[in-house]
Amino acid sequence: MNETDNLIGRRGLMLVLSSPSGAGKTSIARRLLEEDAALEMSVSATTRKRRPGEVEGQDYHFVDRDSFHIMINNREFLEYARVFDHYYGTPEGAVMTALDSGRDVLFDIDWQGTQQIADAKREDLVSVFILPPSTRDLEHRLTKRAQDSAEVVAARMAKASDEISHYREYDYIIVNQDIDVSVTSVKAILTAERLKRDRQVGLTNFVKRLRAGQ
Amino acid sequence: MNETDNLIGRRGLMLVLSSPSGAGKTSIARRLLEEDAALEMSVSATTRKRRPGEVEGQDYHFVDRDSFHIMINNREFLEYARVFDHYYGTPEGAVMTALDSGRDVLFDIDWQGTQQIADAKREDLVSVFILPPSTRDLEHRLTKRAQDSAEVVAARMAKASDEISHYREYDYIIVNQDIDVSVTSVKAILTAERLKRDRQVGLTNFVKRLRAGQ
């Protein structure tokens, strides 16, 4: 929270972080959630089974396939996707409640989800694409285990390259050379976007009082 | 400079700070110039006489009235205005040279100058409007001397109110409750705007190399 928040009141924003896997996005997201009290993680609905340790409503909303399809038909999702045999989606209601209260919501989604959100709610979306600093760096991070075959690593690299090809659809680009610099960069983006005129929903009244000499 | 600058190269931006007089803009601008090495002040041309202590090319470019009119006719100004008997204007050439080299240029101009720049070079413009936190605060700052009459202060307040009425034409709004918070806010805006995809002019080549596995 900065002081402008207190005086004027603002609408929250949807912060989307996307990147090829291996570019360090998950570590950046974790740090942001720890260090920014106004930011919360979006909780997806999914049709896949709950795994040991996962908490309903915190890790996911676990729903059956019929319920998920009803939610699709009712247009309750900001974005959804089928990944192999399971569906994943972001229910719009909870996100809009957060934004209306001036809280920001973080999304860790790919370019397809980002496009769906952009189509639905462009004015609330702030999109950031994280790039690896070099192919060598990416390859190093994608080689998870020493026994990974050259083919497996090559397939991951090809997938990363496909994802990277969508960087033009994002507002901001961060090359993740250093996690601390990258976290600071995303925080600056959040600070700046919160100061955008359009998000300061109490401005009209604030300026009216100011000009009336109150 | 952040690390992304070094890797990719970026186009500079024009940072415009506007505010009613008495809102603290000049102090914020001075701090920014001291603390951000990539930011430089725009140097205006003017037809008014050089005052003792002023340095040609640093405080102003001092030109005669005929030269100024030739510059107007040659469309050499990003913006210009007549203030009482003198002309003031921003020559475009030096600013574009700075932006092309990845340096940012700070402008301390009013809403009319900002509109002219927006018409000429919208994509390079980042505009910030500084508001006072309250009428009482503004009045306090506009009462420069104890002997100022109520009429003089009232006239200054009316002028400030007119200027405030243009806040809607700006990208970002900062309520200057605390100079340190406000300086930090403008710095965050600079950091964020430098990370905008469109300003990272080397991105296409960088991504090409990344996807080619180089």
Q: Which pLDDT does position A152 carry in this prediction?
A: 86
User: Are A133 and B7 in contact (CB < 8 Å)?
Assistant: yes
User: Are A171 and B197 in contact (CB < 8 Å)?
Assistant: yes
Cα-based distances in Å from A9 to A92, A198, A200, A207, B89? 22, 11, 6, 13, 37
B203 exposed, middle or buried (CB, 10 Å; 0-12, 13-18, 19+)? buried
pLDDT digits (tens, 9 = 90+) for B44-98: 999 999 999 999 999 999 999 999 999 999 999 999 999 999 999 999 999 999 9
User: Are A135 and B188 in contact (CB < 8 Å)?
Assistant: no
Q: Which pLDDT does position A140 carry in this prediction?
A: 84
B133: DSSP letter: S
Instruction: Show which of residues 183-202 on chain A sit within 8 Å of chain B, judged by CB atoms.
Output: 184-185, 187-189, 191-193, 195-197, 200
- Select from A130, A119, A122 the least CA-distant residue to A172: A130
Cβ-contact A182, B2 below 8 angstroms: no
Q: Which residue has the higher pLDDT, B212 or B147?
A: B212
The structure tokens 């760096």 sit at A137
ipTM of the modeled complex: 0.91
Mean pLDDT across the stretch A11-26?
93
Q: Is the pLDDT of residue B214 over 80?
A: no
User: Are B8 and A133 in contact (CB < 8 Å)?
Assistant: no
Cα-based distances in Å from B165 to A42, A159, A209, B158? 38, 51, 12, 11
Dihedral sign (CA A15, A20, A23, A27): positive
Question: Of A30-39, B20-29, B140-149, B191-200, which gets the smallest average pLDDT?
Answer: B140-149
Q: Which pLDDT does position A136 carry in this prediction?
A: 87
Mean pLDDT across the stretch A205-212?
91
User: Are B206 and A168 in contact (CB < 8 Å)?
Assistant: no
pLDDT digits (tens, 9 = 90+) for A80-93: 999 999 999 999 99
Instruction: Show which of residues 138-177 on chain B sit within 8 Å of chain A, judged by CB atoms.
Output: 138, 157, 161, 164-165, 167-168, 170-175, 177
Res. A7 pLDDT band, cuts 50 70 90: confident
How far does B91 lie from chain A, in Å, by closest CA? 29
**CA gap B103, A90 in Å, rounded:** 41
* Identity of the residue in A171, A196, A212 whose CB atom sits nearest the CB atom of B196: A171
Among chain B residues, CA nearest to A179: B3
Q: Which helix (H) or strand (E) holds A172?
A: strand A172-175
**What structural domains and CATH numbers belong to chain A?**
3-42+103-209 (3.40.50.300)
Mean pLDDT across the stretch B131-148?
83
Q: Which two tokens stand for residue B57?
A: 């090319």
Most B CBs within 10 Å, among A184, A186, A211, A214, to test the B interface:
A211
User: Is any Cβ of chain A less than 8 angstroms from the Cβ of B94?
Assistant: no
Q: Is the pLDDT of residue B114 over 50?
A: yes
Question: Of A136-150, A166-180, A181-195, B109-123, which gets the smallest average pLDDT?
Answer: A136-150
Cβ-based contacts under 8 A for chains A and B: 133
Q: Which pLDDT does position A5 carry in this prediction?
A: 53
Mean pLDDT across the stretch A98-109?
96
User: Are B171 and A200 in contact (CB < 8 Å)?
Assistant: no
User: Are A173 and B203 in contact (CB < 8 Å)?
Assistant: yes
Mean pLDDT across the stretch B32-38?
97
Res. A1 pLDDT band, cuts 50 70 90: very low
User: Are B192 and A172 in contact (CB < 8 Å)?
Assistant: yes
* Identity of the residue in A173, A177, A213 whose CB atom sits nearest the CB atom of B3: A177
Q: Is the pLDDT of residue A141 over 90?
A: no
How far does A197 lie from chain B, in Å, by closest CA? 5
Q: Is the pLDDT of residue A60 over 50?
A: yes
Stated pTM of the model: 0.92
Mean pLDDT across the stretch B98-127?
96
How far does B30 lie from chain A, in Å, by closest CA? 20
pLDDT digits (tens, 9 = 90+) for B147-197: 778 888 888 888 899 999 999 999 999 999 999 999 999 999 999 999 999
Phi, psi of A105 (to 5 degrees): -120, 130
